[in-house]
A and B are shown apart, each in its own frame.
Chain A
């Protein structure tokens, strides 16, 4: 069956069973081209899709999904979802009232370049990386594109589809100078293939990694941290769930009960905007069909909103910000799309550490307590001048305390994409703990 046929089949079955049902389908296409020593080493092209069900019966919610769209598998999923709903002791679950959302295309001709052009981009990127004599090995370098089509339908009237996509250059290589070794990685993403520039991406990656060669240990202490966009983006990606209405409801966010209060330095304004014109990712509506719009999370240091879906909004008694998120293989949650730290007046380097990247975020950051302790790389800066790179150290603290200590925000946005797109300038934080030699 096609998605549309499966959707119709499931909604008809749900009506016969007198249950509420939401059908969320997505179909993803992927092309990836990896170059190695001037040849295409790995080519991957793929398609994957499936249907996720959210079923409500007697106010209880159950989930199921299937990638096999034959009637027996669709029936199996429907039955599993009913059994799963029956397990819930909690009632009050519901599906939001929906409406027709039409078909929207945010991708257009963005990925329509011929395959040969994409192959050339991958090869050119890798060749540019190898031009630097300090590069020992290129671990991987290549081009990737992803395109997704989302289909939504519900017994409550929601119906719509959209199409979105991204193209990117990604690479990682090892650089050597004397006995010093650094493995760098980098990625540039864009909504359109022709915006990518293999020369520029390679140049940035080489520059970012090369400047870390010859790093010295850092003495343990408390210093001003100048968090480069990619480092700050990784922290935000680790801690965005502090703003999740679902986490707030479940007692897993330290921002619970703090709407309207100051939680960060006045220099900090944080927004999520799925409609941001320069944003990497665009979506016209969320996973429940709520139209997308800009949401201010922190305004000059004051907590203004959580990210919500219909359930979190109702239970918290706040407006629905339209941040319902799900993959067909998962359950309904909330998630940001384009997180943006609004640019500030700029950062002047004085004395401290420019943190170029943080590592180990999945293990060293605890979004419930807000605490983090992360391996980092960077540069020692003194009296406004970069003196030498530093290594083998960790930064630690509490993310909310870090936000309070933000002393300056840079003037230019830089984008990082890891499922969620984050646009942030350099962020300067006073008095951060650095553990080193």
Chain B
């Protein structure tokens, strides 16, 4: 996307102003979005994004600029202006004037698509969405169905003043179905949205009809559901997207962005027990075709599998370059950003709780009255206080150890460090699900996951 000579010139310019480290990030991103409502195409959109970000470190102080004018003159001007904000020209680059000798690394294609953006025509995509829609109409109460297909094809180049030159391509595809069920009492929704780092072969792993049916059934369940009860009670959290609770309650607290400032309640706790001993928590950027996977992170560092918590003991944080510089912790390939308009920060990739050995059925035994949070919406956390919340998308009452009537509108709230101590049993049915995570460096794809698990008590926000 940019020639090595130009990149070298930009990085050298930064050095001449005294920057300790310089990085150039370039991306060219094609996206498609197709939205169908009640069998009609409502929106069909294609786009091309093209831009670069230049980041310089002066100690642990960072200056960042981005632009989508990628002409040599503009990029040089941007870099000079940026460098001038912090430094003064005069330092001689130790590597001389001959430019950088880049060590080129190219992805091996671990997550390469079988059916990329160019394959099949648009009609083929539309037909798959119509299949999903038809299957979502599980009952006459399903009045509206909206389906969406998102396709991304992102080419990335990261080069830095240490001589790294990394090219990566990330292809991602996601199908989202939202069903609306309606009767005289009102409207309720159900949704399903599988996504992979893959092309249209997503439809083989997740047949559109199955995805549609799941959304339709959930809407119908919610229509028949009563408002959730309010109060503190034991909660069994479903697998797959259930993992979002620990993404919020635990994952964000382990990112060096807040850990380095001691602004996370889990700062300085390496080697200490921070969770119930049944909890092992892993962040893995290498899962083949995982929605949050990539071969390299957005700083050009290879991604890896990082064990964060092992049997309740804190083993590692998620560390980006700046975080590593500030804390001394080893980088874990966790530097991520939404796109060229954001400087990277430490972020999660595919983060999940490892399976335990309790059979799923055993989690419910002995619960006199509680909530089964079968499927989850999103959530939010304040790392500084650990206060988090997340929404239950499909929930049921547990009475005398049995799953009984559906309830809707439940919100689980709590403090992360307390909740992770209260996990009393973990089942053996680990599954992951995709989501979008918003934080300082923008909105990025992540997977969350877990087996079914039991939390001894949680505040359930429902109708009082």
Give the complex CA separation of A90 and B463 in angstroms: 42
Residues of B within 8 A of A331 (CB): 43, 45
Q: A88-B41, A374-B461, A392-B415 are in contact. Are A46 and B385 (CB under 8 A)?
A: no
The reply to whether B62 and A250 contact each other, CB–CB distance below 8 Å, is no
A83 to chain B, nearest CB (A): 6
Residues of B within 8 A of A83 (CB): 44, 46, 122
B215 to chain A, nearest CB (A): 13
- B residues at A contact (CB < 8 Å): 34, 37-51, 60-69, 81-82, 85-86, 122-123, 126, 143-144, 146, 180, 186-189, 227-228, 230-232, 258, 261-263, 265, 341, 343, 377-380, 382-391, 408-411, 413-415, 438, 440, 459-464
Contact of A88 among B44, B187, B262 (CB under 8 A): B44
The reply to whether B464 and A220 contact each other, CB–CB distance below 8 Å, is yes
Contact of B48 among A76, A220, A252 (CB under 8 A): A76
Residues of B within 8 A of A366 (CB): 189
Residues of B within 8 A of A36 (CB): 261
Contact of B66 among A48, A329, A360 (CB under 8 A): A48
Q: A369-B186, A375-B461 are in contact. Are A360 and B265 (CB under 8 A)?
A: no
The reply to whether B46 and A395 contact each other, CB–CB distance below 8 Å, is no
The reply to whether B461 and A67 contact each other, CB–CB distance below 8 Å, is no
Q: A363-B390, A373-B410, A435-B462 are in contact. Are A66 and B48 (CB under 8 A)?
A: yes
- A residues at B contact (CB < 8 Å): 36, 39-50, 62-68, 73, 76-77, 80-81, 83-85, 87-90, 136-140, 172-174, 181-183, 220-222, 250-252, 254, 329-331, 359-360, 362-364, 366, 368-375, 391-397, 433-437
Contact of A77 among B48, B232, B261 (CB under 8 A): B48
Task: Determine chain A's interface SS by DSSP, over half rule.
Answer: strand
Q: A363-B377, A374-B411 are in contact. Are A44 and B45 (CB under 8 A)?
A: no
Contact of B413 among A63, A181, A372, A375 (CB under 8 A): A375
Give the complex CA separation of A156 and B122 in angstroms: 28
Task: Determine chain B's interface SS by DSSP, over half rule.
Answer: strand
B406 to chain A, nearest CB (A): 14
The reply to whether B261 and A40 contact each other, CB–CB distance below 8 Å, is no
Residues of A within 8 A of B232 (CB): 437
Give the complex CA separation of A77 and B47 in angstroms: 7
B184 to chain A, nearest CB (A): 13
Give the complex CA separation of A218 and B47 in angstroms: 49
Give the complex CA separation of A433 and B39 in angstroms: 39
Residues of A within 8 A of B146 (CB): 250
The reply to whether B380 and A85 contact each other, CB–CB distance below 8 Å, is no
The reply to whether B382 and A183 contact each other, CB–CB distance below 8 Å, is yes
Contact of B63 among A43, A182, A363, A391 (CB under 8 A): A43
B377 to chain A, nearest CB (A): 4
Residues of A within 8 A of B144 (CB): 250-252
The reply to whether B464 and A434 contact each other, CB–CB distance below 8 Å, is yes
Give the complex CA separation of A81 and B378 in angstroms: 33
Give the complex CA separation of A396 and B460 in angstroms: 11
Residues of B within 8 A of A42 (CB): 61-64, 343
The reply to whether A63 and B43 contact each other, CB–CB distance below 8 Å, is yes
The reply to whether B261 and A392 contact each other, CB–CB distance below 8 Å, is no
Since A181-B386, A183-B382, A433-B230 are in contact, a sample of 14 more A-B pairs with Cβ atoms closer than 8 Å, ordered by chain A residue number, is A42-B61, A42-B62, A44-B343, A73-B50, A77-B48, A83-B44, A87-B126, A183-B383, A221-B464, A331-B43, A394-B459, A435-B230, A435-B460, A435-B463
Give the complex CA separation of A220 and B460 in angstroms: 10
The reply to whether B65 and A88 contact each other, CB–CB distance below 8 Å, is no
Q: A90-B41, A394-B389 are in contact. Are A362 and B378 (CB under 8 A)?
A: yes
Q: A47-B67, A360-B380, A362-B380 are in contact. Are A371 and B409 (CB under 8 A)?
A: yes
List 7 A-B pairs, minimum CB-CB distance, nearest first: A394-B461, A435-B230, A183-B384, A84-B44, A363-B378, A375-B389, A174-B384
Q: A41-B62, A64-B45 are in contact. Are A137 and B86 (CB under 8 A)?
A: no
Residues of B within 8 A of A360 (CB): 378-380, 389-391, 411, 413
The reply to whether A46 and B261 contact each other, CB–CB distance below 8 Å, is no
Give the complex CA separation of A394 and B201 in angstroms: 41
Residues of A within 8 A of B68 (CB): 47-50, 67-68
The reply to whether B461 and A395 contact each other, CB–CB distance below 8 Å, is yes
The reply to whether B51 and A67 contact each other, CB–CB distance below 8 Å, is yes
The reply to whether B123 and A87 contact each other, CB–CB distance below 8 Å, is yes
Residues of A within 8 A of B69 (CB): 47
Give the complex CA separation of A113 and B427 in angstroms: 60
21 contacts between A and B (CB under 8 A): A39-B61, A43-B82, A44-B343, A45-B81, A50-B68, A63-B46, A67-B49, A83-B44, A89-B39, A90-B40, A139-B261, A173-B384, A181-B386, A251-B143, A251-B144, A373-B411, A393-B461, A394-B459, A396-B463, A433-B464, A435-B464
Residues of B within 8 A of A364 (CB): 377, 389-391, 411, 461
A78 to chain B, nearest CB (A): 11
Give the complex CA separation of A251 and B39 in angstroms: 14
Q: A39-B61, A174-B384, A183-B383 are in contact. Are A46 and B67 (CB under 8 A)?
A: yes
Contact of A46 among B45, B265, B341, B390 (CB under 8 A): B341
The reply to whether A254 and B265 contact each other, CB–CB distance below 8 Å, is no
Give the complex CA separation of A136 and B123 in angstroms: 57
